[in-house]
Amino acid sequence: MCGIAGIIDRKNSLSAESLLKSIKHMTDAAPHRGPDGEGFYQDGGLALGHRRLAVIDLSRDGIQPMSWHDKYVITFNGEIYNYIEIRDILQQQGYVFHTKTDTEVILASYDYWREDCVLQFNGMWALAIHNRQTNQVFCSRDRFGVKPFYYVPDNDRFIFGSEVKQLLTQMLAVQANAEVIVNYLVLNLLDYDEHTFFKNIYKLKGGHNLIYNLNDHTFSIKQYYSIAFREEVSLLNEQDAIDCFTQAFGRSIQYRLRSDVKVGTCLSGGLDSSAIAAVASEQHSHVSSLPFCSITASSTQPEFDEYHYAQAVSSHLALHAYVTKPDKDDFLQSLTTVIRTQEYPFANPSVFMQYFVMKKAKEAGITVLLDGQGADETLLGYRRYIPIVIVKAGLLKFLYRSKKIGNKYAISLIEVLKNYFYYTSPKLRFWRQTRKFGLNNVYQKALRYDLFKAYADHYNQPFDLQKLEIMAMQLPHLLRLEDKNSMAHAIETRLPFMDWELLEISLSINQDFKLNQGWSKWILRKSVEKMLPSSIVWRKNKIGFNAPLKDWMDGDFVKIMQADISSSLIIKELLKNIPADLDQNQMWRLYNLAKWEKIFHVSI
């Protein structure tokens, strides 16, 4: 896991010295992404930079940018978990390897498969390869966009990097993207397309390649991956589906335990993180005599505190457990740091709980941390999925299932019907989101009603809806939050539920095996029911790393928020007025935007 940077001088007006100076400014802007070293490469009008976080092959063999037979040079951020298997295939084709790195495997794969090499990879990546033979730069981002790739395509230079801060070192002005801001502020939409909060800064979407031609300074972007429905999996009976999922889940975790540094896991005490902890600790015991480690966040607000659940899991699995319990002072002291770390405004302060988990992992000497991101989206874990499955079952099954689900979720039949009507009525949903915020007329057309319409159109087709959430309307911003929080502490997080093969299996499994007998994630519960206490496997409530907002956002802090909001030039430009009856999350979005404006000196 590392940080990458690149500059292409489109006018061929910069000296080699100027290029190297600029690329160093970019890598210096993100030292946290690679505390184990840095490297640079320059050829004509191209410069590449790299910050290294050593995880696999800690020797100097892993230094980047890495050259391969004087044909290709790469700067790479991420991990290719199946690099051993790919290396074996390539060795059978006559390739010889001189390091134990996955980086060298990428280069050899590119030589053998060219751009299709990414189809062989199981992992997370953002990379750029200079092909010196064709004078092209091949860039790629992993299937779901776990690792970031930002770029600026201005007239003079094409710039790319792992963080926005790197790109800002090369820009004369920092301007806000008003369309992105109003959709965040009013509709709570984030990371739904290639645009960012910064004008003229874009992101390469997950599952896409970008090829830059250095001869004529043109580039093209192509999608190489789309989630596939596996019909053979959908036809499996319940036990075979459980076995199929269990095998894929175990293999995914096995891949993600490959490391030459200390590995642990996030543990909230919920089903997802507990399942990962159970399987990972069991596999870890076969290769190490040391206990597997877990990191838990405890809340100062009792109704949000899952510590006793996490403690039960840690005790059952004999984990070496670390706990962090941030209070209001921790929140206030980290406020500016976390907003600067995230680079975008974010929807609610729960992001801080994840930040403190990563901080505790760093203090514990853990460099690789497993996490449960993606389980809810792939296994129908959210309450909003309930109406889809039971309504499609027909009236009698609908009434029967509603009663069972009500017992497990504490949700009534009326609530199920209300949710179904709400999510299939885009005009109602849009009105509800927009009624409090009076935008200035010029920005009204920027609101993305089409996304609400697409959500409603897909709502009756669970597979299509899950694809939409995974690629556009839910997971992209969660993955971004995780990457920023983890890399701020030089922690590499790995996400077993985001393994592309496991994800396709999870989405293709018969819906009745995911929401069964009133239980969500039935297939996961059955998979690990013999490995965990029944109180964890059959938990009915879901909490997660929620921030104790009652403790943190008290009256004094609300006054601070109001003062910053009232001084924001961006908010004054966008809104006719600020409503007095904002809820806590709406107030936070305004405040976070105002703080972001100040921290990054953004104009509009």
Domain ranges for the chain, please list them.
Answer: 2-223, 231-379+465-547, 386-461, 561-599
- Token pair belonging to 600: 């990054």
590 with 185: CB under 8 angstroms?
A: yes
User: What pLDDT was estimated at residue 304?
Assistant: 87
CA neighbor of 55 nearest in space, from 39, 67, 28, 37: 37
End-to-end CA distance of the chain: give it in Å, rounded: 34
594 with 568: CB under 8 angstroms?
A: yes
Q: pLDDT tens digit string along 262-287?
A: 999 999 999 999 999 999 999 999 98
b/e code 241-280 from CB counts within 10 Å (16+ = b): bbebbbebbbbbbebbbbeeeebbbbbbbbbbbbbbbbbb
Q: How open is the CA angle 22-25-30, to the nearest 5 degrees?
A: 140
Phi-psi sector, 380: left (phi>0), alpha (psi -120 to 50), beta: left
Q: pLDDT tens digit string along 423-454?
A: 999 999 999 989 888 898 899 999 999 999 99
- Token pair belonging to 235: 């036809």
* Residue 581, CA atoms < 13 Å, CB-side half-sphere: 2
User: What pLDDT was estimated at residue 604?
Assistant: 87
CA distance 341 to 115: 32
Quote the distance between the C-alpha of residue 153 and its chain's center. Answer: 24
DSSP code string of 416-437:
HHHHHHHHT-HHHHHHHHHSS-
| Beta strands 2-9; 157-161: pairing state | antiparallel
335 with 561: CB under 8 angstroms?
A: no
SS3 366: coil
CA neighbor of 515 nearest in space, from 359, 418, 408, 419: 408
| Dihedral in degrees, nearest 10, Cα atoms 546, 183, 163, 571 | -90
CA distance 454 to 450: 6
Q: pLDDT tens digit string along 72-84?
A: 999 999 999 999 9
Q: pLDDT tens digit string along 29-47?
A: 999 999 888 999 999 999 9
- Phi, psi values for residue 563, rounded to 5°: -65, -45
All residues at 6 or more sequence positions from 538 whose CB lies less than 8 Å from its CB, including other chains? 519, 525
Q: pLDDT tens digit string along 43-69?
A: 999 999 999 987 876 778 789 999 999
CA distance 533 to 517: 20
User: What pLDDT was estimated at residue 411?
Assistant: 67
Crossing angle for the helix pair 307-317 and 271-284, nearest 10 degrees?
20
CA distance 184 to 597: 14
- In the chain, count of helices (H) and strands (E)? 26, 19
208 with 222: CB under 8 angstroms?
A: yes
298 with 337: CB under 8 angstroms?
A: no
CA distance 165 to 201: 11
370 with 295: CB under 8 angstroms?
A: no
Show contacts of 535-539: CB within 8 Å, 24+ apart.
535/309, 535/312, 536/269, 536/271, 536/274, 536/309, 536/312, 536/313, 537/271, 539/270, 539/271, 539/309
CATH number of 231-379+465-547: 3.40.50.620
Q: How many residues does the chain have?
A: 604
267 with 293: CB under 8 angstroms?
A: no
CA distance 548 to 328: 9
CA distance 340 to 473: 23
User: What pLDDT was estimated at residue 29?
Assistant: 97
CA distance 135 to 453: 43
Under-50 pLDDT residues of the chain: none
All residues at 6 or more sequence positions from 540 whose CB lies less than 8 Å from its CB, including other chains? 408, 409, 410
Write down the pTM of the prediction.
0.95
451 with 189: CB under 8 angstroms?
A: yes
| Beta strands 150-153; 136-141: pairing state | unpaired
Q: Which ranges in 160-237 belong to alpha helices (H)?
A: 164-168, 178-187, 231-234
User: What pLDDT was estimated at residue 70?
Assistant: 93
Query: What is the gyration radius of the CA atoms in the chain, in angstroms?
Result: 24
CATH of 2-223, one of 3.40.50.10280, 3.40.50.12280, 3.60.20.10, 3.10.180.10: 3.60.20.10
Q: Most distant CA pair in the chain: distance in Å? A: 75
Domains 2-223 and 231-379+465-547 are alike in CATH topology: no
User: What pLDDT was estimated at residue 406?
Assistant: 60
